[in-house]
């Protein structure tokens, strides 16, 4: 079985994040990482976007690709922070076009406490947002477990 190599890019406002929920969900194959159930995965890069408007987006994916990355995951912080990252669509398109890498929005399951707030705010009501949060929106019990 071949190992799938991935890179993770986090929102810079969480640049001090140690990645605990991301690494836990990768180990448990939850959230956006459930797509790797039964597969070997190696993280070949972990960095922030570089801060708005994402200066590191131009460089980090290239480095990750040199390390073998096939897929880039934008950490769940891109969608749960307030406001959510306004640059996701641009970042995703740029990385896919410039580097030929698949980009998945999300890593760990969205914690339930964020779901409650963002549902009240209507943050994720558009079809685009619904598509982006789908991989990180498991049943409520799992979301609560990530609070």
Tell me the backbone φ, ψ of residue 143, rounded to 5 degrees: -60, -40
Domain coordinates in residue numbering, the chain: 4-145
Task: Tell me how far CA of residue 52 lies from CA of 76, 78, 93, in angstroms.
Answer: 16, 12, 16
Task: For the chain, 147 residues long, give each residue's pLDDT as a single digit of tens.
Answer: 689 999 999 999 999 999 999 999 999 999 999 999 999 999 999 999 999 999 999 999 999 999 999 999 999 999 999 999 999 999 999 999 999 999 999 999 999 999 999 999 999 999 999 999 999 999 999 999 999
Relative to beta strand 71-74, strand 102-105 is parallel
Domain 4-145 has CATH 3.10.590: no
Check residue 24 and give its pLDDT: 97
């Amino acid at each position: 079985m071949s190992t799938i190599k991935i890179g993770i890019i986090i929102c810079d406002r969480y640049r001090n994040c140690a990645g605990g929920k991301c690494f836990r969900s990768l180990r448990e194959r939850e959230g956006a990482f459930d797509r790797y159930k039964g597969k070997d995965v190696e993280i070949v890069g972990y960095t922030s976007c570089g801060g708005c408007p994402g200066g590191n987006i131009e460089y980090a994916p290239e480095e990750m690709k040199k390390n073998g990355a096939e897929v880039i995951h934008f950490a769940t912080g891109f969608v749960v922070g307030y406001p959510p990252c306004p640059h996701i669509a641009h970042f995703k398109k740029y990385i896919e076009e410039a580097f030929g890498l698949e980009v998945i929005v999300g890593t760990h399951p969205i914690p339930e406490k964020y779901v409650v707030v963002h549902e009240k705010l209507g943050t994720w009501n558009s079809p685009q947002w619904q598509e982006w949060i789908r991989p990180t929106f498991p049943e409520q019990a799992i979301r609560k477990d990530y609070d």
